Amino acid sequence: MTLRKAVAYAALAAGLLAAGTVSAQDPIAARKDGFKAAKEAMGMIKKTLDDGGDLAVVKTSADKLADVATKAGGLFPAGSDKGDTKAKPAIWSNMDDFKAKNAAFAAESAKLSQIAAAGDAAATKKQFGAVAGTCKACHDSYRSE
């Protein structure tokens, strides 16, 4: 493993560990930490694919995305729509749709991990597009810019 890859793995792991240590008493902070880790993982995947890099990096990052997605569903309790958040109130009035979009993010991220593990770069790039599409679908409906 190159030093660059080791540093990338360490940065992603640190972000997810930080997300996991935020108290459930502060769901807004936990959401921010989790989605920051997801953004970093997406960036790592894009860079790796653009550079023709090691698909093991994509798999690891996709696993992190799936983990964030799995945890994110429980980080939008009633009353957590107030404060320093980009979450739109529509989340709480359309919770079933929001959870479905989050479940799609988790499923497509897990699928990306499996495809990357199989070593097919073209299929991995295509699946990365599907994951990005789940992000966009949720952000378009439920995230303020």
Two structure tokens written together for 2: 């190159």
Fold of the domain spanning 3-142? Four Helix Bundle (Hemerythrin (Met), subunit A) (1.20.120)
Nearest to 61 by CA among 122, 115, 100, 1: 115
What pLDDT was estimated at residue 22?
A: 46
What pLDDT was estimated at residue 12?
A: 58
CA 120 from centre of chain: 21
Nearest to 87 by CA among 97, 71, 103, 98: 98
CA-to-CA distance for 116 and 41, rounded, in angstroms? 14
Binding residues for heme c: 135, 138-139
Domain ranges of the chain: 3-142
Binding residues: 135, 138-139
pLDDT in tens, the chain (145 residues): 666 665 555 555 555 454 444 455 899 999 999 999 999 999 999 999 999 999 999 999 999 999 999 999 899 999 999 999 999 999 999 999 999 999 999 999 999 999 999 999 999 999 999 999 999 999 999 999 8
Give residue for tokens 């789940």: 134
